Structure formats: structure tokens, C-alpha cells
Structure 1
Amino acid sequence: MLVGITGGIGSGKTTVSKMFSEFENVQIYHADEEAKRLMNTSEIIKRKIIKEFSQEAYSEEGLNRSFLAKIVFESKERLKVLNSIVHPEVHKHLQGFIAKHNKKDYILYENAILFENGSHKLCDKIITVSVPQDIRIKRVMKRDGVDKETVLNRVKNQWSDTKKTIQSHYLIINLDLTNVWFDVKRIHNKLTY
């Protein structure tokens, strides 16, 4: 079973995913981490990104994330182009991951843009992690060392929590970690019943 977990930037979906990793019969797939890794290791992705965004998209250290971020978070069209390059390769990688871990009760598929890129169609169940937007903005500003405008540019490229929640099977409000852990255990028990 593939269980999607998503939430807007700064919602704490990675923190919640780590809680699910406490259960031995669960395997976690972090789409964002794998996408970043593949953007540095896949020659297919690298060639396409350079063709589309210029050689400046990569430096000797690898992917020039700040260069790309400036372009794609200011233009929905350019973001779509980048996603069309990266997501097919992440999807292939996910399929291999699922095959490798098919003995687990379920795979938790953490993806910030699960709905936006259509990956929700792969999932048997979906969990949305939600927090009020002002808290999310503060978290991301602190975590990434960026200003409010930069965070808002990223937020506007994601679906609203309301839109995600309507299409989800479970909702976790990530304000109090004790309550979140209780929700995680409850959802895990339902998924493995």
C-alpha cells in the first residue's frame, strides 16, 4: 500500500514522517530529497536542465539551487518545465523503491506537491499535514534564512491546505507534537488493521 503524505511548505510533514518511521513495518520515501539527489546524479536530468535553463544551473559543486530557485519560484511556467524534467525520473525511482520494499505494510510517500504533480493518483490513502499559514511562513523563514516574500513566492505555487484536505483521507494539525504523535499512532493503526 502506498500512503501519500503532503502539506504546504513549513507544515512539518518531514517531522510527521519521522514519527511514522518509528514503526518497523513502514518504509518512508522522501520525494523532495530524492529529487534533489537525482538532480545531482542523473545525467538525463542534468542534460535536460542545462538545455532548458543554461549551464549556470550547475556549478562544480553540483546543482546551483539558488540560481534555479530564483527562476522557478518567480514563474509558474518555468516551474512546470522543471517539474516536467524531474518528476518522471523521481516516479521511476519510486517504482523501484516500492518493488524493493513490497514486504512492508505500507510505504509512506512524502511529497510536498503530491496533488500539484498528480502523484496522488498513485496513492491508496493520503494524509495532509496542516498548520496556519503565518506559522508556516515563520518556520520557513527561520529554517531557510529567507525573507517573507521568498516564502510567499513558494507558497503561491502550492495548493491551499483546504484544497488538499478535501481530497485527503486523514488530516494532521501540526501544532502540538504530543497530539501529532497520537494522530500518527491512530492513523498507523487504521492503515495496518
Structure 2
Amino acid sequence: MLKIGITGGMGSGKTTVCKIFQCLNIPIYDADYEAKNLYNTDLQLREEVILLFGADVFTKNLLNHSLLAAKVFSNPEKRQALNAIVHPRVQAHSASWFKKQSGPYALKEAALLIESGAFCQLDHVILVRAAEETRIQRVMKRNPTWSGEEIRKRMNVQMSDEEKKPFCQFEIIKEEPHLLIPQVMRIHQQLCP
């Protein structure tokens, strides 16, 4: 079974693309979702996060994501320290998940797939792209309290599509006039023996 990564910047359309792959019965590992679960279930991780950011980032033993994000996006050193403790746990968790999957391939969706080094554990990587303004509009739609400036600030801490391209074997453009389903089907057919 092939291990395939799917990555792209905020608002690029990764989740929509993954839904199409799910319709093809391809299992999906959502790294962001699983990382959020680990914050609340891994006691050692929780202790390390509290040491870095203070106990106030947890309320009733649950991570306050918006407070942590505010602290992380304003401090590059703390962001790097957080990534150093979270990414290895997510990588170990996803490696275990992949072992339980069957079929021609399974997908791991992660915005920071390249930055975290997780792509090294995978056979191929799919990059999902869209124009920056399109991405900003999509993110504003699902996070109406965020300003365009705040979204750009968050986007700027991620690698650009051009920086990610050399690590990716496939590319999907998620905006008009490009048709999404034919792009997904072309990749699916290449990955299925």
C-alpha cells in the first residue's frame, strides 16, 4: 500500500479534495484533527505545552486553540518549539494509522507536511494550490472574525506553493477554470495498480 501526502496552504482546498478521495473509498488521516486530539489526550504533551505557554492555554483540561494560536503566531521561536514537540507525535501516530490501512493507497492530509519533514515517510505528495486571494476569501468565509491581515500573517509562516513544489509529485489546482474531479481521478488512476 502506498502512503500519499496531501498538502497546501490555508484555504487551498485540501479538505474538499480529500472528500473526493473519500468518495473513492480512500482512507484519510487528518493531521490537524489528530494533533488537536493529541493535545487533549497525551498528558506528557499537555505538560510540555503548559511549560512553553502557561496553564491558561488549557481550560477544563481542553486546549484553548485560539489562545494557543495567538501565542504561537506572534512568536516564531515558540512556534518552532511547539512544532518540535507536536510533529514527532503526529508522525508516530500517523505511521501507526497507515499500518492499519489496506487498499492501493491511503492519504495523510497536513498543511505542514513539508515543513515538518513528514513527507519523508511518504511515497508521494500531492500539492493542492489556489491563488492567494482565493485562499484568503475561503479562510475568511469559515473564520469571519479573522482579518485579511491576520490570515496573511498565518499564511506567511507556511512555505509557499513554489517552495513546496519540488517535494511534490502531483498537483491539483482548486479554482476555476480547473475542474477538480478530473484532476483527482487522474491521480487516483495513477496510484491504483
**Normalising TM by the smaller chain, what interval?**
over 0.9
Partner residue, 2:171: 171
Partner residue, 1:135: 134
Partner residue, 1:3: 4
Amino acid aligned to 2:13: G
Contact 2:40–2:61 (8 Å) recurs in 1: no
SS of match in other structure, 2:106? strand
SS of match in other structure, 1:21? helix
Q: Deviations over 1:143-192 (max 9, x none)?
A: 11211121011101101111112321111000149711111011000011
Shift of 1:61: 6.0
Partner residue, 2:113: 114
Amino acid aligned to 2:86: V
Partner residue, 1:33: 33
Runs of 4+ with >2 A deviation: none
Partner residue, 1:126: 125
Q: Deviations over 1:21-72 (max 9, x none)?
A: 1122x21101011001111111121111011111011011610111111111
SS of match in other structure, 1:11? coil
Count of residue pairs brought into register by the alignment: 191
In the alignment, the residues of structure 1 paired with residue 189 and residue 112 of structure 2 have an alpha-carbon distance, to the nearest angstrom, of: 26
Q: Deviations over 1:88-141 (max 9, x none)?
A: 11112112101111x221110101001111111111111000000011111111
Identity %: 38
Amino acid aligned to 1:62: L
Partner residue, 1:58: 58
Q: TM-score, structure 1 length as denominator?
A: 0.94
Partner residue, 1:156: 156
The two structures, once aligned, show a CA RMSD in angstroms of: 1.4
| Structure 2: gaps of 5 or more residues | none
Aligned: 1:105 with 2:104? yes
| Structure 1: gaps of 5 or more residues | none
Amino acid aligned to 2:12: S
In the alignment, the residues of structure 2 paired with residue 104 and residue 157 of structure 1 have an alpha-carbon distance, to the nearest angstrom, of: 35
In the alignment, the residues of structure 1 paired with residue 33 and residue 85 of structure 2 have an alpha-carbon distance, to the nearest angstrom, of: 16
